[in-house]
Amino acid sequence: MKFSPFESKRPDMNRIKEIVSVLAKYQFGNVLDDLGLRNKLFFTLNLHLRDPEEEFDSSVPERVRLVMEELGTSFVKLGQVLSTRPDLVGKDIAEELSKLQDEATPFDFTEVKRVVEQELNNPFEETFIEFKEVPVASASIGQVHEAILKNGERVAVKVQRPGIVDQINKDIIIMRYLAGMVDQRMPSLKYYNLPGIVDEFERAIKKELDYNQEANNAERFRASFEDDETVYAPAIYREFSTLRVLTMEYVEGVKLTEIIDSEIKFNARTIAERGAECYFKQIFINGFFHADPHPGNILVQNGNVLCFIDFGMMGNLDQDFRDNLAELFVFMVNYDVKGMINQLQYMNMISDSTDIESLKYDLMDLLDRYYGADMNQVGELMSEFSMPTLLIKHKIRVPRDFILLGRVMSMAEDLGQRLDPNFNGLHIAKKMVKRLIKDRLNPLRRLDNTTSALINLEHIYRDLPQSITRSLMRLEKGNFKMELEHKDLDKFTETLERITNRISMALLISSLIIGSSLVIMPNEALILQNFPYLGIVGFLVSFLIALALIISIIRMRKI
């Protein structure tokens, strides 16, 4: 699968007209006006634009979601990515976009058969004993069919929708085009960095379109929970999986959506608690987490076992970030504002110019809104911490991973509360905090990093003599270079220049006074034909030069 360089391609104007039509339909005419699209394109469109004074029933967040839904696959996926970025689109829009359902009409079975045979390079009948034509599930990127392999094993086969890569390619070109227009013509929206959002979306969608990547994700997730009897992930059949076909173990279970909306007998509280514990483990222990905790992506098996079935959207956290995040999380859960500030400074998330006292009171206000007898929304607290108001005011640099985590945890907690109204995320979080503290204080934990530390030490031991020798040779030859970084030296230079100019002007004025005195003293001046011509000429030349210098200094404001 190859994505062409979008910058070298022109956007599809017919598709842009379609986008303009949808925006107009849902009352975003003001955006079209700001971008100059209404006058440029509407004369070719037979559109009925609503009267600006006509009321529209739904709110702005809902209208944004409706626009995404109507524009199809690429924009639904973009909406899902943006739902994890409340720091950019705001809490209300992020929550509304999280409702986007990735469902689509199934494509014809003849296309399914063609894609499978082409990808597996084998006739259909030689691979499967049975292959059900009606899909188990159908989404915008692909659909899943139940099948039985030649060896008799029951599998689920995920087949990518034909033409979807080209369609998404074209839409990303348009997204770049529109994002560039917004960046140029709507300065108030520059903060949101729309071109950057398109880049982020492109990275996410490329991973989701690559079924080999999803197979890697599934195997890694399965391995991380192989010793946990409460969480399960299906096995992957690599020999029957390619870029556009993914074959995995067929698992029985009931979707969480069906448990939430029906009277099916499961222990809802156990499921909610296991779900929360599972996500805390993914984030703080494994560093590899499911980034789309939609109830349709999770099955419940006998014994209240959670089974994850979709691994297209996953998140990664390195060890250092997990350690720092765990410490910040401990302070946050324990209502330790001072500890939070110290940790933010350690993580370089706040600068020296941040007003610590003001930040302290804002953090206290934030924690007060969530702590108390009914406090149960840890993920919501993390999402609130990532809101633009707090970030901009205190110049906090929050990593994207932190923002994504807050959103994912918030969605997981919401799922827990829908299963059990009495679900308390803080209770689960405090249990995890005890485990994190225990792990952090365990001296044996450092043994995990022994190999890496020894290798780094060996590099130093091996390279240090050569580095010292090279430095001494450069110093001996006079080739030793030193770079200095100055702070506020420009201000010092400017001040020194002004002082020098003032001294120069004082000397000039003094010289003119002395010169003029000599000119008017005939006995002291050089006289030709009873008049001191040379003295006056010299005085005038000096005066003009001094005047030009004074004017130059004043113009440069260096006095």
pLDDT per residue as tens digits for the range 172-197: 999 888 888 888 887 767 766 778 88
Dump the DSSP string for 344-363. HHHTT-S-TTS-HHHHHHHH
Structure confidence by residue, pLDDT tens digits, 522-546: 555 455 555 565 566 666 766 777 7
Q: Residue 58 — pLDDT band, cuts 50, 70, 90?
A: low
10 Å CB burial of residue 235 (0-12, 13-18, 19+) is middle
The full 3-state SS of 373-406, as one line of letters, equals CCCCCHHHHHHHHCCHHHHHHHCCCCCHHHHHHH
Contact residues for 261 (Cβ-Cβ < 8 A; gap 6+): none
Given a cut of 50, whether residue 49 has pLDDT beyond it is no
Alpha carbon 226 to chain centroid distance?
31
Q: Which helix (H) or strand (E) holds 538?
A: helix 533-555
CA max distance for the chain = 129
CA-CA distance, 350 to 397, in Å (whole number)?
6
Q: Which helix (H) or strand (E) holds 144?
A: strand 142-149
CA atoms within 13 A on the CB side of 68: 27
What is the per-residue pLDDT for 120?
Answer: 94
What are the CA-CA distances from residue 70 to residues 55, 63, 204, 270 (Å)? 20, 11, 21, 38
Q: How is residue 75 written in tokens?
A: 């924009």
What is the per-residue pLDDT for 383?
Answer: 67
The answer to whether the CB of 559 falls within 8 A of the CB of 501 is yes
- Candidates 537, 542, 536; CA nearest to 511 is 542
Q: Which helix (H) or strand (E) holds 129?
A: strand 128-131
Alpha carbon 196 to chain centroid distance?
9
- Candidates 40, 37, 337, 335; CA nearest to 178 is 37
The full set of domain ranges for the chain reads 6-101+168-198, 105-160+210-250, 254-441, 446-482, 489-555
Given a cut of 90, whether residue 414 has pLDDT beyond it is no
Q: Between residues 428 and 73, which one has the greater pLDDT?
A: 73
Q: Between residues 40 and 182, which one has the greater pLDDT?
A: 182
What is the per-residue pLDDT for 56?
Answer: 45
Given a cut of 70, whether residue 400 has pLDDT beyond it is no
Q: Residue 52 — pLDDT band, cuts 50, 70, 90?
A: very low
CA-CA distance, 439 to 212, in Å (whole number)?
34
Strands 288-290 and 314-316: antiparallel
Residue entry with tokens 């003119």: 512
What are the CA-CA distances from residue 135 to residues 104, 108, 508 (Å)? 11, 10, 94
The answer to whether the CB of 66 falls within 8 A of the CB of 26 is yes
On whether the 105-160+210-250 domain is CATH 3.30.200, my answer is yes
Q: How is residue 530 written in tokens?
A: 């009873």
CA-CA distance, 456 to 481, in Å (whole number)?
27
Rounded to an integer, the average pLDDT of 346-365 is 85
Q: Residue 42 — pLDDT band, cuts 50, 70, 90?
A: very low
Task: Tell me the β-bridge partners of 143.
Answer: 138, 159
Structure confidence by residue, pLDDT tens digits, 246-269: 999 999 988 887 777 665 667 888
Given a cut of 80, whether residue 31 has pLDDT beyond it is no
What are the CA-CA distances from residue 422 to residues 76, 322, 376, 407, 442 (Å)? 32, 29, 9, 21, 34
Q: How is residue 170 written in tokens?
A: 């074209």
Residue entry with tokens 């250092």: 320
Among 48-62, 306-320, 365-379, the least confident range: 48-62
Q: Give percent of the chain with pLDDT exceeding 70.
A: 69
Task: Please give the backbone phi and psi of residue 411, each rounded to the nearest 5 degrees, phi first.
Answer: -65, -40
Q: Residue 2 — pLDDT band, cuts 50, 70, 90?
A: very low
Dump the DSSP string for 69-124. HHH-HHHHHHHHHHTT-HHHH-HHHHHHHTT-----PPPPHHHHHHHHHHHHTS-H
Mean pLDDT over the full length of the chain? 77
Q: How is residue 512 written in tokens?
A: 């003119």
Contact residues for 16 (Cβ-Cβ < 8 A; gap 6+): 37, 41, 174, 177, 178
DSSP alpha helix (H) spans, 442-488 = 450-477
CA torsion 530-535-536-541 (nearest 10°) is: 160
